[in-house]
C-alpha cells in the first residue's frame, strides 16, 4: 500500500532521508524503502525564506484528495482509511494538499503560496476526517493547518453551491473554534475573515468576553454563522442559554489545548465537549476498522506543547486520534501518556497545565532562536532590560513579568529613559488592549510589558526580542513566551534577566528544553558572552 502511494512522487529535496513517518512498527523513511532512485533532487528555490517551516517534497498533482463534504444536515462523516503515508510529505503548493481551487486562489491572493511542514502534514490528515492533535513549534503556521481543511468544507471557498443563502449556511454552526484568550480568539477570526473576504466574513462570528453579549447573540441569530470562534466561558454561557445551535457541528477545534485543560476552564470545557457535535465516546467500542462510519464531530486539538495531560484528554475526547507533527503522523495510542513532572517544582497554577511535555520541549521552539541569561539585582532589572534592548538594537520587544502590578512601574521607568513602552494585561479594557496591540504592531511602542496573557498564540511577527524579567513557571511557559519571536523562520533572541539565586532555574530550563542558554552581560551597548 505504501509503495503504491509513494511511487508517483516526482521530486524530493535533499532532506529526503530524514523525512519519514512512524508506524506501529517503527520509523520508515523513503531511503529505508529503497525508493531514492524514484526521485529527483531539487535545488534551492524561493522557499529558502521559509526554510524550516516549509515543505521540501513535491507530491504529484494527481494525488488530489477526494472531497468529503461537510454534512449540513446530519452528523455522519465517513472516516477515510488511516492513510498516514501521504501526510508526512511536505508539498510545494497548497493545491497539492487537496484543497479546493477557490481556496487555493484566495490563499495566493493573501500571499500564502507554500504550505509549512505542519500544514502539509495536517491538512490531508484532517481532510480525511481524523481526529488529531496538531503539535508543532510556535509560529509554524498551526492556525492555517486547521483553518484550511475547515474552509475547504464550510462556506463559499469550498466550491459547494450554497443553498440560496448569501453565506451558504442555513443549517446551524458547522465549526466551533475554542481559544483560551480573547486576543487569540480575535486573531483566529481575523485569519478566517482574511481568507473569506469582506463579502463572506459574516460567516464567522466571534464569541469573546469584553464584547457586548446581546450584540453577539443578535449577530448569531441574524447572520447564522457557520463558524464560531470564542473563549470557553462565552461559548459555554451562550450555549447554556440555548442560543448556540451546535449539535450538528462537524468540527470542534481546541487551540492551545493544553491551556484549555486548566482548572479554571474545566466546567465550560465540559459543556462544550458535551454539546458540540455528538460526544466522541460514540465511536468507542465500534469496529477498529478505519472505514468505520463516525457519528461524532471531528475533534482537532492544537498546541506547540503537548503535555501528557493532553494525550490522555485527546484519547478520551477524540476517536482514535492521530498526533500530527511536521513530517510525522503517528497514532496517539503509540505515544506514552505518563512521565516525569514539573521542572521548577512550582505547583501548577490555574492557567498552567498539570504536567510537562510528553515529548522533548525543544520541539516546541522555533529553530532560529538565540537564548541568553544575565544576572542582576531585582531593582536593576528594568534598567538591564533597557540596556539589553539597546545592545541588541531590538525594534519590537515583548518583556514578561509575573505580577501585573509591576508592569506600570516598569513602563514608567522605560518611558522616563526615552524608550516607548506600554503595558498589556487582562485588567485593561478590551479597547485599550486592542489599541496597545495596534500601536505595538505599527512600531509606535517599542517595548510591550506584559504578563502570561500574551504568552500564548499571539502572532506579532515583527517581535525580534523576548525578555523574561520574571522567570516562567516551567519549560512549557518558557516555550510559549519565547515563541513570540522567531516566527515562521525569522531570527529572534530570548533573554532571561534573573537574580543570582534564580540561576538554578535557568539551568533546569536549559536541561529540560535541551538547549543552550548562554550567560551574558550587556556592557557598553554590546552583548558579551560570559563564562558560565
Ligand X SMILES: Nc1ncnc2c1ncn2[C@@H]1O[C@H](COP(=O)(O)OP(=O)(O)OP(=O)(O)O)[C@@H](O)[C@H]1O
Is residue 521 within a helix (H) or strand (E), and if so which, with residue range? strand 517-523
Of 86, 93, 116, 485, the one binding ligand X (CB under 6 A) is 116
Instruction: Report, in Å, the least distance between residue 142 CB and ligand X.
Output: 4
Please state, as a whole number, how many other Cβ atoms lie within 10 Å of the Cβ of residue 219. 17
Is residue 117 within a helix (H) or strand (E), and if so which, with residue range? helix 117-127
Q: Which is nearer to ligand X, 136 or 376 (CB)?
A: 136
| Span 287-326, contacts to ligand X by CB under 6 A | 304
Instruction: Report, in Å, the least distance between residue 375 CB and ligand X.
Output: 29
- In the structure grid, which three cell numbers stand for residue 15, read together? 532532506
The residues facing 449 across adjacent strands are: 399, 423
Q: Which is nearer to ligand X, 16 or 47 (CB)?
A: 47
How far, CA to CA in Å, does 333 sit from each of 194, 308, 320, 353?
Answer: 36, 12, 8, 21
Q: Which is nearer to ligand X, 283 or 463 (CB)?
A: 463
- Contacts of residue 527, defined as CB under 8 A and 6 or more positions apart, other chains included, come to 372, 388, 391, 392, 520, 521
| Span 488-507, contacts to ligand X by CB under 6 A | 488
- Closest to 284 in 3D by CA, of 252, 326, 320, 324: 320
Instruction: Report, in Å, the least distance between residue 241 CB and ligand X.
Output: 30
DSSP class per residue in 57-98: EE--TT-PPPP----SSS--EEPPP--TTSTTS--SSGGGGT
Alpha-carbon span 450 to 503, nearest angstrom:
22
The phi, psi pair for 211, rounded to 5°, reads -100, 170
Instruction: Report, in Å, the least distance between residue 141 CB and ligand X.
Output: 3
Instruction: Report, in Å, the least distance between residue 76 CB and ligand X.
Output: 30
Q: Which is nearer to ligand X, 53 or 248 (CB)?
A: 53
Chain mean position to CA 289:
30
Question: How many helices (H) does the chain have, and how many strands (E)?
Answer: 15, 22
How far, CA to CA in Å, does 85 sit from each of 7, 11, 23, 89, 400?
Answer: 12, 16, 9, 8, 41
Chain mean position to CA 74:
29
Size of site (CB under 6 A) for ligand X: 20
Single out the segment in contact with ligand X by CB under 6 A; choices: 24-32, 134-142, 265-273, 407-415.
Answer: 134-142
Single out the segment in contact with ligand X by CB under 6 A; choices: 18-26, 133-141, 200-208, 243-251.
Answer: 133-141
Of 115, 124, 321, 486, the one binding ligand X (CB under 6 A) is 115
Instruction: Report, in Å, the least distance between residue 89 CB and ligand X.
Output: 16
Instruction: Report, in Å, the least distance between residue 466 CB and ligand X.
Output: 12
- DSSP letter, residue 316: H
SS3 content of the chain, % helix, strand, coil (to 5): 40, 20, 45
If binding is defined by CB under 6 A, does position 280 make contact with ligand X? no
Of 9, 112, 146, 251, the one binding ligand X (CB under 6 A) is 112
Alpha-carbon span 51 to 415, nearest angstrom:
38
CB-based contact 245:223 (threshold 8 Å): no
- In the structure grid, which three cell numbers stand for residue 83, read together? 492513510
Alpha-carbon span 408 to 398, nearest angstrom:
14
Q: Which is nearer to ligand X, 414 or 488 (CB)?
A: 488
Instruction: Report, in Å, the least distance between residue 186 CB and ligand X.
Output: 13
Single out the segment in contact with ligand X by CB under 6 A; choices: 28-36, 109-117, 349-357, 500-508.
Answer: 109-117
| Span 137-156, contacts to ligand X by CB under 6 A | 138-144
Site track for ligand X across 448-487, x = CB under 6 A: ---------x-x-x---------------------x---x
Instruction: Report, in Å, the least distance between residue 256 CB and ligand X.
Output: 7
Q: Which is nearer to ligand X, 123 or 375 (CB)?
A: 123
Alpha-carbon span 305 to 290, nearest angstrom:
27
Q: Which is nearer to ligand X, 304 or 506 (CB)?
A: 304
Instruction: Report, in Å, the least distance between residue 57 CB and ligand X.
Output: 15
CB-based contact 252:302 (threshold 8 Å): no
- Closest to 401 in 3D by CA, of 475, 443, 451, 340: 451
Single out the segment in contact with ligand X by CB under 6 A; choices: 112-120, 224-232, 307-315, 501-509.
Answer: 112-120
Instruction: Report, in Å, the least distance between residue 433 CB and ligand X.
Output: 18
CB-based contact 330:281 (threshold 8 Å): no
| Span 193-252, contacts to ligand X by CB under 6 A | none
Instruction: Report, in Å, the least distance between residue 110 CB and ligand X.
Output: 8
Q: Which is nearer to ligand X, 46 or 524 (CB)?
A: 46
Q: Which is nearer to ligand X, 411 or 513 (CB)?
A: 513
Single out the segment in contact with ligand X by CB under 6 A; choices: 124-132, 136-144, 345-353, 412-420.
Answer: 136-144
> Interface residues with ligand X (CB under 6 A)?
112, 114-116, 119, 136, 138-144, 304, 457, 459, 461, 483, 487-488
Amino acid at each position: 500500500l505504501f509503495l503504491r502511494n509513494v511511487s508517483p512522487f516526482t521530486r524530493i529535496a535533499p532532506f529526503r532521508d530524514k523525512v519519514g513517518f512512524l508506524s506501529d512498527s517503527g520509523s520508515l523513511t523513503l531511503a529505508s524503502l529503497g525508493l531514492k532512485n524514484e526521485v529527483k533532487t531539487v535545488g534551492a528555490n524561493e522557499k529558502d525564506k521559509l526554510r524550516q517551516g516549509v515543505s521540501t517534497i513535491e507530491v504529484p498533482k494527481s494525488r488530489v484528495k477526494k472531497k468529503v463534504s461537510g454534512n449540513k444536515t446530519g452528523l455522519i462523516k465517513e472516516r477515510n482509511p488511516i492513510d498516514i503515508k501521504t501526510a508526512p510529505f511536505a508539498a510545494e503548493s497548497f493545491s497539492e494538499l487537496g484543497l479546493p481551487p477557490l481556496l487555493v486562489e484566495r490563499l495566493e491572493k493573501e500571499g500564502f503560496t507554500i504550505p509549512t511542514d505542519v500544514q502539509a502534514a495536517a491538512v490531508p490528515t484532517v481532510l480525511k476526517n481524523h481526529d488529531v492533535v496538531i503539535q508543532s513549534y510556535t509560529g509554524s503556521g498551526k492556525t492555517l493547518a486547521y483553518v484550511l481543511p475547515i474552509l475547504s468544507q464550510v462556506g463559499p471557498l469550498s466550491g459547494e453551491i450554497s443553498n440560496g443563502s448569501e453565506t451558504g449556511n442555513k443549517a446551524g454552526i458547522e465549526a466551533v473554534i475554542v481559544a483560551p484568550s480573547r486576543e487569540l480568539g480575535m486573531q483566529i477570526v481575523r485569519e478566517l475573515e482574511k481568507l473569506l473576504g469582506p463579502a463572506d466574513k459574516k460567516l464567522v462570528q466571534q464569541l469573546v468576553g469584553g464584547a457586548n453579549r446581546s450584540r453577539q447573540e443578535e449577530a448569531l441569530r441574524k447572520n447564522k454563522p457557520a463558524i464560531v470562534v470564542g473563549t470557553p466561558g462565552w461559548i459555554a454561557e451562550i450555549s447554556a442559554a440555548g442560543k448556540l445551535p451546535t449539535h450538528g457541528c462537524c468540527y470542534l477545534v481546541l487551540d492551545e489545548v493544553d491551556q484549555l485543560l486548566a482548572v479554571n476552564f474545566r466546567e465550560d470545557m465540559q459543556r462544550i465537549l458535551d454539546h458540540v457535535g455528538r460526544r466522541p465516546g460514540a465511536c468507542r467500542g465500534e469496529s477498529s476498522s478505519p472505514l468505520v462510519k463516525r457519528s461524532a464531530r471531528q475533534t482537532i486539538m492544537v498546541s506547540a506543547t503537548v503535555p501528557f495531560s493532553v494525550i490522555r484528554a485527546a484519547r478520551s475526547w477524540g476517536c482514535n486520534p492521530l498526533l500530527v507533527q511536521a513530517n510525522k503522523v503517528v497514532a496517539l495510542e503509540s505515544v506514552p501518556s505518563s512521565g516525569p513532572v514539573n521542572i521548577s517544582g512550582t505547583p501548577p497554577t490555574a492557567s498552567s497545565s498539570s504536567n510537562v511535555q510528553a515529548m522533548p520541549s525543544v520541539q516546541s521552539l522555533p529553530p532560529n532562536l538565540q537564548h541568553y541569561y544575565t544576572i542582576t539585582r531585582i531593582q536593576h532589572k528594568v534598567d538591564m532590560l533597557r540596556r539589553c534592548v539597546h545592545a541588541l538594537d531590538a525594534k519590537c520587544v515583548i518583556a514578561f513579568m509575573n505580577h501585573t502590578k509591576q508592569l506600570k512601574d516598569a513602563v514608567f521607568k522605560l518611558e522616563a529613559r526615552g524608550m516607548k513602552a506600554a503595558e498589556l494585561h487582562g485588567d485593561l479594557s478590551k479597547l485599550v488592549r486592542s489599541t496597545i496591540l495596534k500601536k505595538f504592531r505599527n512600531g509606535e511602542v517599542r517595548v510591550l510589558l506584559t504578563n502570561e496573557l500574551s504568552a500564548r498564540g499571539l502572532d506579532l511577527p515583527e517581535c525580534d526580542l523576548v525578555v523574561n524579567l520574571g522567570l516562567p513557571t516551567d519549560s512549557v511557559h518558557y516555550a510559549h513566551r519565547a515563541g513570540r519571536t522567531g516566527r515562521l523562520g525569522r531570527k529572534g533572541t530570548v533573554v532571561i534577566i534573573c537574580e543570582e539565586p534564580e540561576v538554578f532555574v535557568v539551568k533546569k530550563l536549559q536541561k529540560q528544553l535541551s538547549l543552550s542558554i548562554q550567560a551574558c552581560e550587556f556592557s557598553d551597548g554590546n552583548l558579551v558572552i560570559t563564562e558560565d
